[in-house]
Chains A and B, each alone.
Chain A
Amino acid sequence: MTIKTYRQTLHDTLRAEMLRDENVFLMGEEIGVFEGSYKITAGLLAEFGDKRVKDTPIAEEGFTGAAIGAAMLGLRPVVEIMTINFSLLALDQIVNHAAKIYGMFGGQAKVPMVIRTPGGGGQQLGATHSQNIELYYAFVPGMKVVAPSTPADAKALLLAAIRDDDPVLFLENLALYNTKGDVPDDDTPAEIGKAKISREGHDLTLIGYSRMAYIAKNVADALSESEGLDIEVIDLMSLRPLDRETIVNSVKKTHAAVVLEDDWLTYGIGAEIAATISDGAFDYLDAPVRRVAMAEVPMPYSKVLESAAMPTNDDVINAIFQTLEAVGRRLKKVGQSHD
């Protein structure tokens, strides 16, 4: 075990995979000379040269499509799209080609590629640079979408993604880059398609992914400390495929669920989770499933408005308390403040 930041873990894992497999190479805007907009690829150009670390023009559709083509011939490109917002320019290539080629041609060509891209608002980047649109990819059969919330998971999932024979969208998050955690030294990939119970509990199931899984864990730990609550936290880790079983089994135990997401509420990822709970654990629910998501507005630049639009710890705590009250828990402190 080594304590590392999420950023450093991504860097180290990319480097290790490049050393392990010469078919692994990196492509993206500003990943070489500039060392990456978020410095994930710092130093890799110097170490591996411009054959393995390819700076591209600003041409998301062009270079993402080129990565798909290279993957069809057996290379393992790891594409960095500067932020998930810019992936919209490559949406056609990802949805119509990366996700389709294996099936459309009857399984004759694989597309073993990874698209690394950070989501996340909260940095006052305004309407076009603060979106959480991983749903667009999680919606598409043929894509795999993973979203680690800790450095350890970032390593295990990145290993899995690079070694996977299907296109994987690897969702990072601006707010997580500087977070630290224990990272195992061995190279064991995660199993894509599996969720993780990051905290066991009986009072309520709190579900999230990426930044919201991180917040879920923190809130649950804090409420355990301050209120003696025993909250189970599920980190989805994989948005497609979705581990419905882990979700349903947890809710069968706790009888209540709050789902956290950084995207917009209507049609968001939380809606799929809530529907899964309704299908699989209907007879075990003691309260309606609550969702905490972004306010449905184009993200404003103003700090005040942005903060109001984004889910905060308080919003999460509110939803938890209201749900616990709905199942008859009488909470001492915060319970009265929002009746």
Chain B
Amino acid sequence: MTSDFGSNLLYELATERHDMTLKEFLMTDSALSKTKVAAKKAVAKKAPAKKAVAAKSTVKKVVAKKAPAKKAVAAKPTVKEVTPKKVATKKVDGDQLVSFYRDMMLIRRFEERAARAYTEALIGGYCHLNLGEEATVVGLMSALRETDYLFTNYREHGYAIMRGIDPNRAMAELYGRVDGVSKGWGGSMHMFDMTHRLLGGYGIVGGQLPLATGAALAIQYRGLDEVVMCTMGDGTANIGAFHESLNIAALWNLPVVFVVINNGLGMGTTVAKASAEPEIYKRASAYAMTAERVDGLDPMSVLHAAQRAIASARTGKPYLLEVVCERLRGHSVVDPAKYRSPEDVAQLAKADPVPNLAARLIRDKILTAAEVHQIDEEQTARADAADAFAQASAQPDVSTLFDYNYATPVANDSRRLPGDPLFAVVARPEVSR
């Protein structure tokens, strides 16, 4: 049983979070699927049969199936989601969905505005967008408390906004202006705001994991009821810091949730081409850490999974969550993504979570088409306003260049501009002869 990862996971989920006994769990594997279908018939689109197969397969079997797994990863996420015990009412779900839609549309319009400003050379550097990731962003961020912390990577604009940072300040950061969330020092990749407990976007793949682990250590050290969430891309699972951090977090029982945003591509490399085990959540088994995989195109699924993960972390059991979503554009604004086939591109358009949620809201009569359109208009205006704010914000003054060299004033700190001489020429005192 312990070697049977998938079942082990479900067992843990069942027994710890859903008050099922092992016996019940073993008996109701298929019943569970039915329950889920029944409970979520309005919203759930997942194939329960697939889930059951995955749950039963041993690690060995999954490894054997590695090659064909590529398609499975790219096409349909295998969801290890277990039906929440309490079935949400349609009204609550509806309010939540509308709220999600509002936020997702803000991210969508914000990112599109940023892409445009980038091509107009108003934004510099690299510019990685959350397009296609909106449902994941809002689902994850809605599960965090204000007092929880977030560490993220360089694809972070949406996360920053959902942590509560004013879109104006996020856009101003992209423009490198003084009103930017990092005062123009960080740019697209490096937003930071202690007030909203966004502890940074990081540009070196895997760099944020040890930091997040350390932040969780500080929380544990102080005996606080807070949690750290640390997001990363799928490519990050292959770098040393991933494994070192998961091991330390599990070893020390740290309150941290690691979230792999699996959009199927690390730049232009598919997960199957980069990862010997393309089902990344399974890597947690090497560190005796609970893990699950969730559909990142459905904000509600993401929310619930994140809630489970955070609840686990809050009790000192770190958690690995793999969220499978899409990257609608290239790796960054300037990547033409020519490695994608026309079929993939067509598939992508169908998977776009924003119009899909709009269609669902209208179909389930939660909102009218006009209301959906109005939200779009509002958020487009919001993004435009952020852009106008950013353009109007001042450029940092060159005199501030050395202001952040050290937190502690120090003697002999170099504050020279390029080409400045080391020593000023001083007139030689007259020598009497």
Residues of A within 8 A of B (CB): 29-30, 33-35, 37, 55-62, 85-86, 88-89, 123-129, 265-266, 290-298, 300-305, 308-312, 315-316, 318-319, 322
B404 surroundings in chain A (CB, below 8 A): 297-298
Q: Mark B242-271, 1 if CB is under 8 A from A, else 0.
A: 000000000000000000000000111100
Docked complex Cα distance between A266 and B205 (Å) = 28
Most chain B CB within 10 A, of A290, A301, A311, A319, is at A301
> Apart from A30-B269, A88-B204, A129-B125, what 9 extra A-B contacts exist at CB < 8 Å?
A33-B268, A57-B266, A86-B205, A124-B124, A127-B190, A296-B405, A301-B184, A309-B401, A322-B421
Q: Mark B263-282, 1 if CB is under 8 A from A, else 0.
A: 00011110001110000000
A293 surroundings in chain B (CB, below 8 A): 418
The stretch of B161-169, B346-354, B392-400 that contacts the partner chain = B392-400
Cβ of B419 and Cβ of A292 under 8 Å apart? yes
A304 surroundings in chain B (CB, below 8 A): 176, 395-398
Cβ of B416 and Cβ of A295 under 8 Å apart? yes
Minimum CB–CB distance from B372 to chain A (whole Å) comes to 36
Cβ of B125 and Cβ of A124 under 8 Å apart? yes
Q: Which of A89, A126, A308 contacts B186 (CB 8 A)?
A: A126
Q: Which of B202, B239, B240, B396 contacts A300 (CB 8 A)?
A: B396
Cβ of A302 and Cβ of B417 under 8 Å apart? no
B77 located at the interface, meaning its Cβ lies under 8 Å from any Cβ of chain A in the complex: no
What are 19 contact pairs spanning A and B, CB under 8 A?
A29-B267, A34-B269, A58-B238, A62-B240, A89-B204, A123-B124, A124-B125, A125-B203, A126-B187, A126-B189, A265-B416, A266-B414, A294-B418, A295-B401, A300-B401, A301-B124, A305-B176, A308-B417, A316-B419
Minimum CB–CB distance from A313 to chain B (whole Å) comes to 10
- Return the chain A residue nearest B202 by Cβ: A128
Docked complex Cα distance between A265 and B404 (Å) = 18
B185 located at the interface, meaning its Cβ lies under 8 Å from any Cβ of chain A in the complex: yes
Cβ of B401 and Cβ of A297 under 8 Å apart? yes
B142 located at the interface, meaning its Cβ lies under 8 Å from any Cβ of chain A in the complex: no
Docked complex Cα distance between A318 and B416 (Å) = 14
Cβ of A55 and Cβ of B269 under 8 Å apart? yes
Most chain B CB within 10 A, of A123, A296, A304, is at A304
A291 surroundings in chain B (CB, below 8 A): 422
Docked complex Cα distance between A60 and B239 (Å) = 8
Cβ of A58 and Cβ of B125 under 8 Å apart? no
Q: Mark B120-146, 1 if CB is under 8 A from A, else 0.
A: 000011100000000000000000000
Cβ of B239 and Cβ of A301 under 8 Å apart? no
- Return the chain B residue nearest A36 by Cβ: B268
Q: Which of B126, B240, B268, B395 contacts A59 (CB 8 A)?
A: B240
Docked complex Cα distance between A285 and B417 (Å) = 25
Cβ of A311 and Cβ of B269 under 8 Å apart? no
Cβ of A305 and Cβ of B398 under 8 Å apart? yes
A294 surroundings in chain B (CB, below 8 A): 418
B299 located at the interface, meaning its Cβ lies under 8 Å from any Cβ of chain A in the complex: no
Cβ of B418 and Cβ of A33 under 8 Å apart? no
A55 surroundings in chain B (CB, below 8 A): 269, 273-274
Minimum CB–CB distance from A288 to chain B (whole Å) comes to 8
Cβ of B236 and Cβ of A302 under 8 Å apart? no
Cβ of B405 and Cβ of A58 under 8 Å apart? no
B177 located at the interface, meaning its Cβ lies under 8 Å from any Cβ of chain A in the complex: yes
Q: Which of B125, B240, B273 contacts A301 (CB 8 A)?
A: B125
Cβ of A305 and Cβ of B418 under 8 Å apart? no
A309 surroundings in chain B (CB, below 8 A): 401, 417-418
Docked complex Cα distance between A17 and B188 (Å) = 39
- Return the chain A residue nearest B127 by Cβ: A124
B274 surroundings in chain A (CB, below 8 A): 55-58
Docked complex Cα distance between A322 and B425 (Å) = 11
**A312 and B125 contact, Cβ closer than 8 Å, known pairs A29-B267, A128-B204, A129-B203:** no
